[in-house]
Amino acid sequence: MAIPLSYNLRNLVARKTTTLMTALGIALTVAVLLSVSALVEGLRTSLEATAHPLHVLVLRKGSNAELNSSTTPQLFQSIKAKPGIARDSKGEPMASLELITVVVLESPDIPSGINITVRGLTAGGFQMRSNARIVEGRMFQPGRRELVVGQGVAGRYPIARLGKKLDFGRGPWEVVGVVDAGRSAAGSEIFADLNQLASDQNRQEALSSILLRATDAVSMQALINDLASDRGLNVDAQTELAYYRSQTSSALPIQVIGTFVAVIMAVGSSFAAMNTMYAAVARRASEIGTLRVLGFSRSGILLSFFFESLLLSLFGGLLGCVLVLPLNNLQAGIGSFVTFSEITFEMRVTPQIMAMGIVFAMIMGAIGGLFPAASAARKQILTALRES
């Protein structure tokens, strides 16, 4: 005969202080794990949102990032004539020659400054980023020392807001616009005119990368194969999505450390739950004896105490989810080991992440409740009735 669920609920309510303290320990453990997961998910979503499904990124062979890649205008002219590249409304190939460099921006939080990516491109290259739009000011004008900054940069660095001037290279650059790029990593970049930036950096013949838009998925794969097999070009080509997915490695150290801390805390929380349930068994010995007299089996008592531990951990898991909800859409930044600059993004607490946290809490409860439940089930009737 099974013990009613109401019995377990009443016991948890009756021991509300112990219940709350144990649940809070589980909740903090879950919160640590979910916070790290929200950070990684936010970074992954931001990078994948940056990529267009038909974009191909061309880098120098052997390069793993735009920053350490090198290409030339002559190579660009050869590549943009390849078949399979889409055309714009004017009939021109949708291809963008780009230059990547970094500047150091100071902020109130980090006086020493953080590396921020500056991307030189043409108006056509900016238009290829369909998720980016000017929300303040205007677009930079070709041939002028003007910048357009992502909202993430403008939000985190007062020095890079509309109307301000950034001093790098051969002189000051004026911020004339702010771009909204949605969740994409373009919000953590600064955009400038390609020719002006190349001249400023003395890199007219040493640009960084080439971005292409294919006509369709089949043409995109054919274009990648064509570029990779052309030994005269000496380039590597990959989908833009694959490139940005590879950059999620920036969050790997944080994910490893955060998970390690969460596991250590989980061990402690499991012991806390175990101690709580052992104390409950000791205090409720007479109840256990009474339950046996009333006809409840050993297995029924074992399942009841085990289920009570699961209820306790479920409460802790739900509380942990509530604790991390304020982190959803919170803007954060992380240094990339690939680009050697900061990527700004919004942390994301998704239903899948919260479900993972609840499952994690239930596992802690199951580990912490199994042995006390077995101890309760093994008690002899007379021995249990004598204890009080």
Domain locations in the chain? 5-46+250-386, 62-233
Q: What is the pTM of this model?
A: 0.73
Q: What is the DSSP letter of 137?
A: E
Range with the lowest mean pLDDT among 180-189, 294-303, 342-351?
294-303
Helix, coil or strand: residue 230: coil
Neighbours of 346 (CB within 10 A): 20
What pLDDT does 33 receive?
Answer: 85
What pLDDT does 249 receive?
Answer: 65
Contact 255, 352 (CB under 8 A): no
Distance CA 189, CA 151 (A): 9
What pLDDT does 326 receive?
Answer: 92
pLDDT digits (tens, 9 = 90+) for 310-334: 888 898 899 999 999 999 888 777 6
Confidence of residue 297 (pLDDT cuts 50, 70, 90): low
pLDDT digits (tens, 9 = 90+) for 361-385: 888 888 777 776 666 666 665 554 5
pLDDT digits (tens, 9 = 90+) for 3-17: 666 766 777 777 787
Residue 348 in tokens: 């994301």
Reply yes or no on whether the pLDDT at 188 is more than 90.
no
Average pLDDT over residues 182-190: 84
Q: What is the DSSP letter of 158?
A: G
Percent over 90 (pLDDT), the chain: 37
Percent over 70 (pLDDT), the chain: 80
What is the average pLDDT score of the chain?
Answer: 83
What pLDDT does 289 receive?
Answer: 61
Distance CA 9, CA 263 (A): 28
Backbone angles phi, psi at 105, to 5 degrees: -115, 135
- Going by DSSP bridges, is the β-strand pair 171-180/146-150 parallel, antiparallel, or unpaired? parallel
Average pLDDT over residues 298-318: 80
366 vs 226, residue with greater confidence: 226
What pLDDT does 173 receive?
Answer: 95
pLDDT digits (tens, 9 = 90+) for 64-118: 888 889 999 999 999 999 999 999 888 999 999 999 999 988 776 666 778 889 9
Reply yes or no on whether the pLDDT at 190 is more than 60.
yes
